[in-house]
Amino acid sequence: MKCLLVANESAEVLFYWTDTEFEQRIQEQYGVSQEEGERPPAFEDSINTLFAPIIISCSTMVDRLGDNYTSFSTENNHIYVLHQFDECLYIAVNGDGEETEEDLKRKIYVVKKLTDVMFGMVTLSGALLRKELRPQDTEQRNRLWKKLRSLLETYSRLRENDQSFLVEAVERLIHPTLCEQCIEFLERRLVQQINSNMDRMGEEVLHAFILVHTKLLAFYSSRNASNLYPSDLLALIILVQDLYPSKIDLDDTSEELESSSVPDVFYTPEPSPPERESVRLRDDSPPVFQFVDPDVQMAEDSLQTLEVPTPDPSAPSRVFLEAKEYPMIPHSMYCLPLWPGITLVLLTKIPNSNVAVSVYYYLEAFVKLEKRLCDGHEGAAAIRGQPSVQEQRSRLEKSIKTWASMDIQTLQLQNVWTDFKNKAFSRSGCGFTRELLPSCRNMKTQLCGVYKQFFAAECMGSSQRLAPHLQERALSMVQEKLMDWKDFLLVKSKRNITMVSYLEEFPGLIHFIYVDRSNGQMIAPSLNVTDRTVSELGKGPLADFVKNKVWSLVTTAQRYLQKGYATVTLRDGDYFFCYFLWFENETGYKLEVIDIPSSTDDAAPVGMLTCDYYRKLLRYYSKKHQNEVVKCYELFTVHLGVIPNEYILQHCSQLARKLWEPSRIPLL
């Protein structure tokens, strides 16, 4: 019983996702009232009917009280979590008890992150985002919603089964020699060869990395590239997993079958009937011609029209990532599958991407002005703290002329800009007062419109991409490099680190997760509950039990961290949990403990996909250490409860020191 919905202030559904149980419940609820012979309403209309009162209620509260409710539960134990992002209201629902309020809130923030990565600065304009999420063309809308639903389901699967998405940090494959060889290969052969080729159509490879399932083997960034933040890298891994899902369960099943002692059984099909007999129908066969219910036939025809056409394998995806402190800079992402489970990903800088920086500069200026006007600042106080108004004015006018010369439709932008100037700068205008707010919002919409014309996915022509033969060459080069390693890498991804190597030094330790929050990477022993082979945790219920304990520990620790606790120790039956968060300088010297600010109830959940909590925490701590580089680390441990507390704390300290060196493996 799960649902997620995005709607605007007019109660119009912009996107929805439901599981099978929720869909059946809605159909039963709204199908019963239909008279005999009358068609049931379309499912989207039923969803709209169900949520319209909630959406209208939220809009009314925001208009009259300036506030909104964030969650509520119903008499039948359904939990509703709501969050307003600009003009869009996100609603997540759970009715089976499998998700908490925090889980639903996290899901909302992840969907928001994925829409930002897919649409960029268009999300800053409610009117344009509505057109993006709800295209008028039904086929295009179904295709987009299917993609978003698939991404959400992919994230949920990874969050439920993958430790890296549990703590929202990238897991690396631990093999220093191979990692360094691959980084050197990406730098000196692959990226250099592509960027020096004339068929790259003006694109430049900024980042190249190799994934084995969800684990990072190697990552290389060119000298001209800005940092790729962990939150963006995690979002890209979701996109890659959605395109090429890891079929670990199937692999395990096939391995089990291969190792089983069951004798081979072969099936020989019956021979085809003679040609003259093949046209005869058996008594139980349906007639060749039959009457079909028109509603059923219409549904079948609709399903055929909803089939998504096979995408061009050489076509890149347009993604919008943070670069040099500017959010949502457009990139092209090429996902090249080397073998099932192993993928090469190229991120390229596209021509005219500097336009995105200019658009963001102007958008930021209008957002700040709008905020100050809303706060009651008028006149000179409204533009205090911003660059020279005249300088911004002349710079924007030059940009508008440049964009017009690049075949971008700027007529509406020019009209809105003229209206803004007349009101803000002329003597007969209102000046910098609250009356200028509508013009500010119109300018924001028009600037987002220019951005959309430059960088929207549908504007990507077949000529604006790396030449197919260049992609094929890159694919074959990496395949040749890793040919002898591919089987090892696939096994290594399932058995990256095992607890066996730690048991002698740390008796009683069951599991741990070590996270370097400065670069968003983590180290943890594998937890393969789907694997049929025997591991140090056993197999079946025992491994699943330990996994549930680890997931519970991380959830509990994040809840306490949000309240300002950097250390958590607790006993759960026969187990003892520990969680530590601390700061170090670049040499590994532990810095003093500080009071971590607690978050409000409506704040984003702790994580990196959800507003990057740890980057904000590092900025907060670095204010007192401006002359040195500050690093942030986390350690989660699970011990047997019979181990004395003093030994457990000693283990945690020694384990942190032991893991400090492997985290310095140069991958980024």
Task: Read off the pLDDT of residues 3-59 as tens digits, 9 standing for 90 and up.
Answer: 999 999 888 999 999 999 999 988 888 765 555 555 666 888 889 889 999 999 988
As beta bridge partners, residue 16 has: 5
pLDDT at residue 665 tops 60:
no
Q: How far apart are CA 456 and CA 449, in angstroms?
A: 10
What strands lie across the sheet with 521-523, from one edge to the other? 170-171, 521-523, 509-516, 630-640, 575-585, 567-572
pLDDT at residue 474 tops 90:
yes
Angle at the Cα of 374 (from 371 to 375), degrees rounded to 5?
85
* Mean pLDDT, residues 292-318: 56
> How many Cβ atoms sit within 10 Å of the Cβ of residue 499?
19
Could you tell me where the DSSP H helices lie in 406-540?
Answer: 411-424, 437-455, 468-482, 486-494, 500-503
Strand pairing category for 342-349 and 204-212: antiparallel
Q: Give the confidence band of 255 by pLDDT, cuts at 50, 70, 90.
A: very low
Task: Read off the pLDDT of residues 335-384 as tens digits, 9 standing for 90 and up.
Answer: 999 999 999 999 999 888 889 999 999 998 888 888 888 888 877 777 77
Q: What is the three-class DSSP state of 576?
A: strand
Q: What is the three-class DSSP state of 272?
A: coil
Q: How far apart are CA 496 and CA 521, in angstroms?
A: 14
**CB distance 187 to 220 below 8 Å:** yes
**CB distance 448 to 121 below 8 Å:** yes
The DSSP 8-state label assigned to residue 235 in this structure reads: H
Task: Read off the pLDDT of residues 208-253 as tens digits, 9 standing for 90 and up.
Answer: 999 999 999 999 999 888 889 999 999 999 999 999 998 754 344 3
Nearest to 115 by CA among 457, 449, 466: 457
Q: Residue 309: its pLDDT value, please?
A: 52
Q: Give the confidence band of 199 by pLDDT, cuts at 50, 70, 90.
A: confident
Q: Give the confidence band of 385 by pLDDT, cuts at 50, 70, 90.
A: low
pLDDT at residue 312 tops 90:
no
Strand pairing category for 2-8 and 88-94: antiparallel
Q: Residue 601: its pLDDT value, please?
A: 79
Q: Residue 458: its pLDDT value, please?
A: 58
Cβ neighbourhood burial of 460 (10 Å; 0-12, 13-18, 19+): middle
Q: Give the confidence band of 539 by pLDDT, cuts at 50, 70, 90.
A: low
Q: Residue 311: its pLDDT value, please?
A: 56
pLDDT at residue 124 tops 80:
yes
Task: Read off the pLDDT of residues 258-276 as tens digits, 9 standing for 90 and up.
Answer: 443 333 343 444 444 444 4
Cα 487 to Cα 145, 492, 530: the distances in Å are 36, 9, 19
Q: Residue 457: its pLDDT value, please?
A: 65
* Mean pLDDT over each residue of the chain, to the nearest integer: 84
> How many Cβ atoms sit within 10 Å of the Cβ of residue 338?
20
pLDDT at residue 440 tops 50:
yes
The DSSP 8-state label assigned to residue 350 in this structure reads: P
Q: Residue 666: its pLDDT value, please?
A: 45
pLDDT at residue 468 tops 50:
yes
Task: Read off the pLDDT of residues 521-532 as tens digits, 9 standing for 90 and up.
Answer: 999 998 865 545
Question: Is-above-0.85 flag for pTM?
Answer: yes
Q: Residue 296: its pLDDT value, please?
A: 46
Q: Residue 29: its pLDDT value, please?
A: 82
- Tell me the HSE value of 351 on the side-chain side, using a 13 A CA sphere: 11
Q: Residue 408: its pLDDT value, please?
A: 86
pLDDT at residue 75 tops 60:
yes
Strand pairing category for 521-523 and 317-323: unpaired
Nearest to 323 by CA among 367, 359, 368, 356: 356
pLDDT at residue 436 tops 60:
yes
Residue 58 Ramachandran class (φ > 0 left, ψ -120 to 50 alpha, else beta): alpha
pLDDT at residue 663 tops 60:
no
Q: At a CB cut-off of 8 Å and minimum separation 6, what does 49 contact?
A: 30, 41
Share of the chain above pLDDT 90, in %: 52
As beta bridge partners, residue 522 has: 171, 515
Task: Read off the pLDDT of residues 129-156 as tens digits, 9 standing for 90 and up.
Answer: 999 999 999 999 999 999 999 999 999 9
The alpha carbon of residue 282 and the mean position of all alpha carbons in its chain are separated, in whole angstroms, by 53
Q: How far apart are CA 455 and CA 329, in angstroms?
A: 9
Task: Read off the pLDDT of residues 548-597 as tens digits, 9 standing for 90 and up.
Answer: 999 999 999 999 999 999 999 999 889 999 999 999 988 888 889 888 98
The alpha carbon of residue 89 and the mean position of all alpha carbons in its chain are separated, in whole angstroms, by 19
Angle at the Cα of 171 (from 608 to 564), degrees rounded to 5?
35
Q: Residue 44: its pLDDT value, please?
A: 86
